[in-house]
A and B are shown apart, each in its own frame.
Chain A
Amino acid sequence: MEETAVIASIKAGNVDAFTEIVESYQIPIVRYLYRLVGDEDIARDLAQDTFIQAYKGIKNTSRDLQLRPWLFKIATNNTRQYYRRKRILNFIPFVDHRTPEIPSQYRTKDIEENIDVRAALRKVPLNIRTCLVLHFVEGFKYREIASALGIKEDAVRMRVARGKDMFRHAYGGRRTQ
């Protein structure tokens, strides 16, 4: 079924049609959230909330709804809320530099690279990190990021550029340690 037909069917009251949407978007949404929050279980929970909110909200959307950016927008909002909750609950600052040392004899280049990339990404502030992940991991064009986040394309361009410098800096710092 075409995406628009699926959406129309859900609007007409066919709950099961939503399965198709979950099926097609679960991997990118969970991956996106995971890259933002760094924890698989939290990412899954946030993704679940995202789809449930999407289901509730989809009935009130206009006919020209762009589903993909819309879903990512909900996911991004959920992440923001998650961090807000966490800030309120946690008086202790979120420590993310404490990577456990894997005994060097068990490390491989790939594993190290992956750890370093993720750690460096976590050093980039959330609003900029969202742009980096959407562009480089999820393959969004700047225009699509702008629409997903509700910001101007120029702002996306600036955030991606700043994000690259921040990432480069953090990654270089880890590598030369």
Chain B
Amino acid sequence: MENPGEGTRNGGSFAVSCEKLSFTYPGSGRPALSEVSFELRPGEYVGVVGPNGGGKSTLVRLLNGLLRPDSGRVRVSGRDPATEPFEVRRHLGVLFQNPENGLVAPFVEDDVAFGLENLGVSRQGMRDRVARAIRAVGLEGYERREPNTLSGGEKQRVALAGLLAVEPEILVLDEPTSMLDTAGRREVLEYLKALRAEKTILHVTHHLEELAGADRVLVLNGGELVADETPERFLSDANLLRENRLVLPVVPRLALELGLPPARLRTPEELAEAILARTESGTRAR
């Protein structure tokens, strides 16, 4: 693993920095992103939420050089993705929403190795990295399976392994769990948690409960960055949620309706315990 701060040329100490970033799709009358500015420090875990069409996916594409901004500045490890896209993609890996579009090789292990083909990694080095990445997403035994026989969730894990094999220090996750079941989701989130110590992570999601442990949550709506908050503040701000078409997950929503603190109760177990504690103290009072 490379040092997360490495490659920060031009004196920048940020893993990612965006300055007044604007982009309008050709033929569209409305900017997809409008003067968006923020920074990611090395090692930060930052969530991005907001309605469909809010600008989340456009931001992701600007970060890895798939799109060039109309104005403003992006730097990834000090580099400009618009002029050095290939270099940037060694440092910043993107896991896109739908893995169906990204799997290319006949077998799982070839697919995971695909991103390494042009990086000048030795044969043995490739084998080691592929094996490590496959292990990391719990797909041991799947090496010789054909991707088209896998379920959506399994394909997503193959795509994640392919990303990890390149060993970028920044991970951008564009709704990485949208096709996973509860167990698969928990597994991927668990693994992401383990990566937090060594990677800078930008996590785009519609599942607010996934961001409970994030350092910050950015809200993009109508192409504008409308909030940059801690998850606790964010979950307690009913107006902010409503204005951005966000719905609280079931646990905090039940808590809120029952007059319990929504930001502190994350799991069904914690909620049940709080309810029980209250009914018992109520009984005693009577």
Partners in one complex: no
Q: Which residues of B contact A (CB under 8 A)?
A: none
